[in-house]
Each structure stands twice: as C-alpha cells, then as structure tokens.
Chain A
Amino acid sequence: MRDPVLTFTPNGIYCPAGDFHIDPWRPVDRAVITHAHSDHARAGHRRYLATPGTAPVMRHRLGAIDVQTLAYGVPQTIGGATVSFHPAGHLPGSAQVRVSVGGQVWAVSGDYKLGPDGLSEQFEPVRCHAFITECTFGLPVFRWRPQSEVADEINAWWAANAALGRVSMLGAYSLGKAQRLLALLDPSIGPILTHGAVENTNAVLRAQGLPLPATELVTDAHSAKTHPRAIVIAPPSALGSAWARRFGAASTGFASGWMQIRGIRRRRAMDRGFVLSDHADFTELMTAIRETGAERIFPTHGYTDIFTRWLSEQGYQAEAVPTEFGTEEEEA
C-alpha cells in the first residue's frame, strides 16, 4: 500500500512528502492555513502559507508573522507535494487545501459551507481520493433555511425593536459572522453600530475591498437615548457585559447554527436566536462529500463518531480523526 499523503499527528494534519502541517495546533516549521479563525490559525509557526484574503486578518491577529500568500487554484510545489487552495465558502479568504503526491490527491476541507452568503468566495468541490471533512453539524437535525429567510427574520426583529425605541444587540463572532450579518442588514431601518473587536476586523476586510455597509464604532457618546433605533453588532461575550449597559433594556439576539436547538437557544438566555451558520448543514456535508468523488472520508471536528458510522453505511470508507479544534458553540 502506498504511503498516505497526509497523516494525523499530535501537532495536527501533516504531509510527510512536503514536510508541512495544515492548521497545526502546536508550533511547527511550516504551516498551511485554511482560514484566520483562532483555532485554525495559531501563533508560533515559523512560516505560514495562506490565501491573499486570509493573510491580512492573520497578520492583524497574530502580529509580525512570516506569511507567503497563494491565490486560489494556483499550484505550488512544497518538497515532494503539490499544494493548492480552493474556496471553502466559510468566510472571505477561507480555503480548502488540495495536496497531491505522486498522483494521489487528498483534500482538507477546513471549515466550509455551500450556501452563498454574498461575501465569501463560493465553495468549490475538489475532486480527490481522500477527503478530510469537518462535520460540526453532521447530524440530520441540522438543516439550514435559505439565508434570505433568516435575513428577513433579523430585519423584522430589528424593525420591531426600532419601532419601540429599543436598541437591538446582535451577538456574532467578530471575524466572518459579523461581516456576513452586516451585509444582510437593511440599513434603512436605523444606524448600524459595532463593537471595537468587530470594527477592527471590518477595517482589515474593507481595506481588501470587501463591500460592507457603513458602520459606526460604539463610543462613550453612544447610548439608548442617542441611538434608539440602532442595531449593535458585538462579540457574544460583550452582550452581558458592563460595555452593553449603555444600551439599556436592549433586545438581544445571537446568530449561529446552534440556535437550531431549542435547549441551546434557551441556555444562551438571549431574546432571539437566529439559525445562521458558516458551516455546512447535514445535506451540504453529504453533497460536498459526494462531489469530491472520494472513497476515503476522514470526518473531524464535530460529531465524528456518529457521522463516520453514517458514512460507512452509505458505502464510504470512513474513519474519524481526533481534533483539538475548539469550543463549538462560540463561532459556528
């Protein structure tokens, strides 16, 4: 049997032929990065390879690092391997990694979704022999509605609050989800305010030409009195904090795929939970896997045991991969 193109090591996914890691969680010599979320793009590697969309955010978050960029679809030789990036649709700049060694092609999905969100490059299937796929929402209870329906829901909530003179506060991870929400808000309802963590990321993405609506950074001059019709986009952790108090008895919301589950929604103790995820739902996972044409599937990051069993019954050669990617409910 041929040597595997990629192996699973304590540092993360490793390519012996090219001597590099993909999204490693401990410091390594050369790291190929799928996207800039902190559990995938960690500090401490000697060299980074990422897409031109990912590199600026990574620099913003990790400081002075040695990053080489590689555009989507352009092959690069690393040792005995050929590497290329392909859009993952997870957030702007996010990529799948295709690795080819001696005619064997393996692909690492990173985090991905198939549905268009208006900002991220559209997911592109990669034909391969083996596919390492995330499966955060790899259960049949997770099926997303079209983004336009969720957008209507969020705007209706915002408009209803604005009519009552009540601020709307929407919790969202500052990279990815926050910008996706900004793009689907209807600015005719009222002003859009942002928390510093969100606005800093906005600035980096705007500099790359991403079309985001006008936003205003929250300062001491902002309150429920001055901006009663506003919507505020902030990291979830800021919502219950002293920072949020200036907006008085605001209505709170949170957007995530986890909001599909009533128990998790109630635990969040937010007024509204919007089901909006940057990850593939069950149907999208199955579509993506089918379109790779791969026979070997390695589910990782999610309900791997259950999803692996399901894939095996569907005729795939499936094997769960342990992961140190982190806490699921914050950013999904």
Chain B
Amino acid sequence: MKDFAALFQAIDQSTKTTVKTAALAGYFRTASDPDKLWTIALFSGRRPKRAVTTTQLREWAAEAAGLPLWLLEESYPIVGDLAETIALILPPPSAIANKPLHQWITDLKALASEDLDTRKAHILAAWDQLDTAERFLFNKLITGGFRVGVSQKLMTRALAQATGQEEPAIALRLMGNWTPDTTTFHALIEAQDNGADLSRPYPFYLAYGLETAPEELGDPADWQAEWKWDGIRGQLVLRGGQHFVWSRGEELVTDRFPELIAARDFLPPGSVLDGEIVAWDGTAPLPFNTLQQRIGRKTVPKKLLRDAPVVFLAYDLLELEGRDLRDAPMAGRRAALEALLAPLPNTAPVRLSPVIPFDTWADLAAIRAAARDARAEGLMLKRRSSPYQVGRKKGDWWKWKLDPMVIDAVMIYAQSGHGRRANLFTDFTFAVWDGDTLVPFTKAYSGLTDEDFGKITAWVRKNTRQRFGPVRQVAPELVFEIAFEGIHESPRHKSGLALRFPRMSRWRQDKPASEANTIDDLRALLTAYS
C-alpha cells in the first residue's frame, strides 16, 4: 500500500500532466504485477465488489472515533468525500502494516462471505494499521470512484512509456469487460495474443464542439454531415455468433437493450458498428426522456419494451469480416457501412443514420436550424478522409449543436459540492414564478467559474433562511440564466416539467428576482419543442 499511496500522492499533488504521467510510468516499471493490474483497474473505474455498505462504514468510523454519527454526517458535505471524512476523523493508528495493495483487496473481497461482526472487526483492524493517506485509499477501495485526475488517456500514455508499446495498442488492450479476477497484468498488457476476448470494443473516437464558423473548416466537399442524435453512443460488436453492446462509458449494456439481439440475424460475425442507441417511434427518434426510462434497468418489463423500443442508428463501421477498418478513411468506411446495411429490412433493429447532403456551409446552417424537427440536437461534421481515432481529438470530427434554450430562474436552495468543490456551494435548485410563488423546476451544478462559486458561497452563508441537513434554503434573490437542450413533461416533478442537460449559462447580477421568467414561459417552450 505504501508505494500505491506514494503514487497517489505524486499524482494528486501535481497539476501538471507530465509529472503525473512520469509518476504513473515509474510505478508501472517497478510495482508488482498484481498491484499494477489493480491500479489499472481502479483508475479505470473497476473496483472490488463492495463487502460493506457505506452506512456501516459511517457507523463504525463514528464509533471508533468516539463521536456521534451526526457529527460525521455533518462533516461529510464539508469535506466532500466520505472516504476522506472517515480517514480524517479516525484516531491515529497504533501500528502501520506493510501489506501490498492487492493483498488488501484480496482480504476485502474475502469479507463478502463473512458475517457482519467479522467484517466490522476486519475494517476496524485495517483502519488501525494505516496512516491517514493510506486509510483514505483503503476507504476508496470500498466506496469506489477513484477520481484522482488520471484520465484513461493519461494512464494509456504512462503504460505505453513503461512497456514501450504504442498508445493506441494499449488503449485497445484496456477496453472490454476484463476484471482483475479474469486476467493478469501479463495477459492484459504484455501477451502477444490478446484477441481472445470476443466482446472487446474499440476505443471510441470522440468529437469536440465546433467553436469557430464552419467556413473555417474549408471546402464543404471534404466533409460529411450527419444528424447528431440525442441518445446513447454505443458500439455493437458481433463476433463468434454472439453480440455485445457497449456504451461510451465502457459499460456492457447488452442485456438492457434486448431488441438488438436481432442484429445477429442480419449482420455477419466479425462486424463492429459505431452508432447511437435511440428510442424509436417507427420513423424517428423519441425524446431522450423516453430512452431514459430504459437506462439503469438491467431487465426491461414488456410494457416498457413496447412503449420505448430502441434501435441502433449506425454511423460508422470499425470492423468487417474480422478486419480492423479504423485506418481506412471515413468515406471508405461509410461506403462499406451502407453496403452492409442496404439489404436490411425496415424491421431490423439496426438502421443507417443518414448522411445529409449539402453544397455550401450556408445551406448546412439552414439545415442545422431545423434539427429539432428531425429530433436531433444538431449536426456532426466528419472529414471524409479521417481515420477512426482513439479518444477525444481535435481536427477531423466536430459536434455542431443547436444553441441551447435559456430561461432566467431564481436560486432557492443550495448544497455544497463534492471533490474539488468541497466546502463550496455549487449545487443549486432553481424556481420560476407562478403568480406570487416560486415553483422549483430544475437543479444545476455547472457552468460557473470557481470565482463565481466562491462569491455565491459567501452569499449563501449570509443569506441562509433554513437548513435541511446539507441543504440550505436561501433568500430568493439571485437570478441565473439556465441553459438546456430539451424540455418535456414529467409528473415526477413539482413543476410538471423536466429539462435535459440544465446548466448555469450566466449569473444575471443585473436582474432582480422579480424579473425572472414564469412557469408559463417554460410551458410555452414545452409546447414549441416537445
């Protein structure tokens, strides 16, 4: 655990990518294989099965610290991290154990089959053998979420440096549904034959938002335009008579979308398609909130399958007949995709996402303006000569989204944030006027600078009306412009409305609360766009 804690500290202390990469590469050169494997797993969001609940952790920590539970609970939102809160309140350890990372994890996993008293005794003993920094990491093993400023890209680069391989090759090795229980460091990173995993997707190529005028992209003839769908980006992998569906977050979601099993009837093994999973009404996508009912459900009830059926709108072909096509130009991949999907009947759950023909950028701008009619959220621009790259890269693929809808709203509740927003009020609830009363309609967390959040935090402290645990009711005075991508009816919300991607686009320090928008203004948007 010592060297893992040292690695963590080196990464956490620096704001410079080069320093972080060097620290990580150094670790990958020297640590033991099982520790390296677990480090990769943890930094890519894989964690051991939770052996104790966070509720138990809180209770045991308060007891070990000789403090009432409520005091720990009140400290948590200020620290902004439960694992850290617990690490900080515990009394100093009586002796430091020298156990490697993977051993702590193995011991933790073994707890799953023990009774509660044994688990508790084990956790308390562990806390008493770790210093504050190690305790924090130990707690993180249980609570999950190793968000330490190590992106997949950074880890890929460090592994490439440490092993002498190319970054894209490492990126591909890290994909898929491996866990430290199903592989070894050697098999995952070093072995020659790494093709055994049928399910493995390719690293997604991600686009940046277009910030300049499209004219700056040059000749329109070099570009392919498509609708940008508001669904779930996914890869459909067909190999060895099986099919696998991956979300962009590298989550295997095959079982959540059982309709897609029919893809096996139409597409040959050795095909990998990139596209968007959308709810489908037979001719066009349904709003995202229809699809949202399907997300998070591991088994799908029949009624939902009927009300919110999905299709896969394919826009790229990454593998055909078992061959990796990613280095071929977009135009070539597109032709192969169209040829592959041409014979499919209308009832197939895989459909071709159309290419939008255009001659000038002005024509395309007019088409984009009508994106909502096509139930899209804008356009995608892809250079016809572009290969399918790894990760987020500038230059060849751009998102050209519609401008968001906006509404001016009054902040009525504030709550402090997590992680680097600890002890800052960053999570707000907003309301609009309904006659003389304010009706809450959305929450928003992002869009402002740290400096703004600092000012608002000082204001919240002085203008708190009432406290409900970590939530403060504040004087209804501050007005913010809320930007969002969509609006739909929702019986679950007090206002009867729900927004898609709400965020604070501006702090309207020029506007008094009385001049904020009304519920009727929101309903007008609902009628216009839903």
A positions within 8 Å CB-CB of B: 139-143, 258, 260-264, 266-267, 269-273, 303, 305-306, 309-310, 313, 327
B positions within 8 Å CB-CB of A: 12-16, 65, 67-68, 70-72, 74-75, 78-81, 84-85, 88-89, 136, 149, 417-424, 450, 458, 467
Whether B421 lies near A263 (C-beta < 8 A) is yes
Closest to B450 in A: A267
Whether B13 lies near A140 (C-beta < 8 A) is no
Q: A140-B65, A140-B89, A267-B421 are in contact. Are A262 and B78 (CB under 8 A)?
A: no
Distance in angstroms between the alpha carbons of A266 and B80 in the assembled complex: 12
Whether A261 lies near B422 (C-beta < 8 A) is yes
Distance in angstroms between the alpha carbons of A95 and B156 in the assembled complex: 56
Distance in angstroms between the alpha carbons of A218 and B370 in the assembled complex: 60
Q: How many A-B residue pairs have CB under 8 A?
A: 74
B2 to chain A, nearest CB (A): 17
Partner of A305, one of B16, B136, B421, B467: B467
Distance in angstroms between the alpha carbons of A238 and B16 in the assembled complex: 20
Q: A264-B422, A306-B74 are in contact. Are A141 and B68 (CB under 8 A)?
A: no
Residues of A within 8 A of B85 (CB): 141
Distance in angstroms between the alpha carbons of A58 and B88 in the assembled complex: 37
Residues of B within 8 A of A139 (CB): 71, 74-75, 78
Whether A141 lies near B78 (C-beta < 8 A) is yes
Distance in angstroms between the alpha carbons of A122 and B66 in the assembled complex: 29
Distance in angstroms between the alpha carbons of A193 and B81 in the assembled complex: 37
Q: A141-B89, A143-B88, A306-B74 are in contact. Are A263 and B81 (CB under 8 A)?
A: yes
Whether A140 lies near B421 (C-beta < 8 A) is no
A134 to chain B, nearest CB (A): 15
Residues of B within 8 A of A260 (CB): 88
Distance in angstroms between the alpha carbons of A42 and B6 in the assembled complex: 45
Residues of A within 8 A of B419 (CB): 263, 266
Whether A261 lies near B423 (C-beta < 8 A) is yes
7 residue pairs A–B, Cβ–Cβ below 8 Å: A139-B78, A141-B75, A141-B79, A141-B88, A263-B81, A266-B420, A309-B70
Closest to A272 in B: B13
Distance in angstroms between the alpha carbons of A318 and B81 in the assembled complex: 29
Whether B458 lies near A262 (C-beta < 8 A) is no
Distance in angstroms between the alpha carbons of A303 and B78 in the assembled complex: 10
Whether B423 lies near A140 (C-beta < 8 A) is no
Closest to A249 in B: B16
A318 to chain B, nearest CB (A): 14
Residues of B within 8 A of A306 (CB): 71, 74-75
B450 to chain A, nearest CB (A): 6
Supply 4 further A-B pairs (C-beta < 8 A) apart from A263-B419, A263-B421.
Answer: A271-B13, A273-B13, A303-B78, A306-B75
Distance in angstroms between the alpha carbons of A258 and B71 in the assembled complex: 19
Whether A261 lies near B71 (C-beta < 8 A) is no
Residues of B within 8 A of A313 (CB): 68
Distance in angstroms between the alpha carbons of A262 and B147 in the assembled complex: 12
The 9 closest A-B pairs by CB, nearest first: A263-B422, A141-B88, A266-B420, A263-B80, A267-B420, A263-B420, A140-B89, A306-B74, A139-B75
Residues of A within 8 A of B16 (CB): 271
Most chain A CB within 10 A, of B70, B72, B420, B467, is at B420
Whether B78 lies near A269 (C-beta < 8 A) is no
Residues of A within 8 A of B417 (CB): 263
B6 to chain A, nearest CB (A): 14
Residues of A within 8 A of B421 (CB): 263, 267
Whether B424 lies near A267 (C-beta < 8 A) is yes
A299 to chain B, nearest CB (A): 14
Residues of A within 8 A of B70 (CB): 309
Closest to A326 in B: B458
Most chain B CB within 10 A, of A262, A270, A309, A313, is at A262
Whether B71 lies near A140 (C-beta < 8 A) is yes
Distance in angstroms between the alpha carbons of A140 and B81 in the assembled complex: 15
Whether A261 lies near B79 (C-beta < 8 A) is yes
Whether B14 lies near A327 (C-beta < 8 A) is no
Residues of B within 8 A of A266 (CB): 12, 149, 419-420
Most chain B CB within 10 A, of A141, A264, A273, is at A141
Residues of A within 8 A of B423 (CB): 258, 261, 263-264
B76 to chain A, nearest CB (A): 9
